[in-house]
Amino acid sequence: MIKVSVLYPNGANSNFDINYYLTKHIPMVKQKLGSACKSVAVEEGMAGGAPGAPATYLAMAHLTFDSVDAFQSAFTPHAEAIMGDIPNYTNTQPTVQISQIKM
């Protein structure tokens, strides 16, 4: 099992429309990825590790798939639509990480 994490960094003048993300973007992503996407979890950043520090990330999404090939097969045909929606909810550029789930 693998996890695809999409991390939206926080920074000066960064914004993120969590309502749009939850009600429009994520449902669209789930529909396009279909049954290859086993689960989706979304987190909204609240604070950093030190008292009073801002969150490192405005938001994070974590999607699970059986394999990297399953992710790539599901994502590639819809990459343009999924990535093209980003300006509708944020002005940041996300970082993507693919990880193997160990536990």
Report the CATH number that the domain containing residue 78 is assigned in CATH: 3.30.70.100
Q: Which residues, other chains included, contact 8 with Cβ-Cβ below 8 Å and sequence gap of 6+? A: 14, 16, 57, 58, 59, 60, 90, 92, 94
Domain count, the chain: 1
Distance CA 16, CA 32 (A): 22
**Residue range 6-44, pLDDT digits in tens:** 999 999 999 999 999 999 999 999 999 999 999 999 999
Domain with 32 in it: 2-47+54-100
* Residue of 8, 5, 73, 87 lying closest to 35 (CA atoms): 73
The reported pTM is 0.94
